[in-house]
Amino acid sequence: MVLDMFKLDGKVAIVTGANTGLGQGMCVGLAEAGAKVVGVARRSCDETAEKIKAIGGEFTTVIADLSTTDVIDTVISEALKAYGRIDILVNNAGIIKREDAIEYSMEDWDAVCAVNQKEVFFLCQAAAKQFIKQGEGGKIINVASMLSYQGGIRVPAYTASKSAVLGLTRALANEWAKYDIQVNAIAPGYMVTNNTAQLRNDEDRSAEILDRIPAGRWGTPDDMKGAIVWLASPASDYVNGFTVAVDGGWLAR
């Protein structure tokens, strides 16, 4: 039956940026669908762990700073130590630094691209190696952005890195389809999280944004649940290399 195709019982998912915002919403969604979740962040993921415990799910935290690729082996080995396999990788951790392009520093550029782009590729590579070893395929879901499609204002490194996420998602889907690995992405619209606090505090920008969202509201972490479970589950086995917008219609405008 079709609803069974969305079940994730027995699957193990790594989610980066698991302690708050969209990552937390996706962790809970995956756990509600039956997956065991390994959450990665620099700070404690206790709040996410509590939410998952409350629904009878399983969750393990790995504290790691994803601004360096040195931690990738640890992330993979801790996930294997906790649950013995990996079936799903969600590359959600991301940062944004706002400054006029004319003043943008190399330091900010490197910081943003390290987490949003370089780490994403090498985590994909490490997970894919594990999927190939296990011989049962796998699912990778990268978190893109509206700025994978649009230019944005005062966020050049973010736009560059999120545009790279969309391209990388296509590139890896091509190479790894033969291993039954699907690589897709979700492009969230304007969502209520720490990432957008600065924007939402700017009354004029906030009103402009809201006015342009056909749904008439900002998105929430819960809005990510449907798309993440679909892309992590057998229901999407013939979907590969695509970036799905969860944006209240923003891109359609």
Of 83, 158, 190, 238, the catalytic one is 158
Helices (H), the chain: 21-32, 46-54, 72-83, 106-113, 119-134, 156-176, 197-201, 203-212, 225-232
DSSP 94-118: -------GGG--HHHHHHHHIIIII
158 is an active site residue: yes
Q: Identify which range of 5-13, 52-60, 63-71, 98-106 contacts ligand NAP by CB under 6 A.
A: 63-71
What would the two tokens of residue 174 be?
């091509």
Q: Does 43 bind ligand NAP (CB under 6 A)?
A: yes
Q: Which residues contact 195 (CB under 8 A, 6 or more apart)?
A: 21, 94, 96
13, 14, 22, 172: which one binds ligand NAP (CB under 6 A): 22
The CB-of-87 to ligand NAP minimum distance in angstroms stands at 21
Element of type H or E holding 187: strand 181-188
**Per-residue binding letters, 100-139, with ligand NAP (x by CB under 6 A):** ---------------x------------------------
Q: Does 191 bind ligand NAP (CB under 6 A)?
A: yes
The CB-of-108 to ligand NAP minimum distance in angstroms stands at 13
145, 182, 233, 240: which one binds ligand NAP (CB under 6 A): 145
Q: Identify which range of 61-69, 77-85, 200-208, 228-236 contacts ligand NAP by CB under 6 A.
A: 61-69
In 3D space, the residue among 135, 12, 138 whose CA is nearest the CA of residue 75 turns out to be: 12
CA distance 86 to 80: 7
Of 206 and 234, nearer to ligand NAP (C-beta) is: 206
Name residue 222's amino acid.
D
- Enumerate the active-site residues: 158
* Contact set with ligand NAP (CB under 6 A): 17, 19-23, 41-43, 65-67, 92-95, 115, 143, 145, 188, 190-191, 193-196
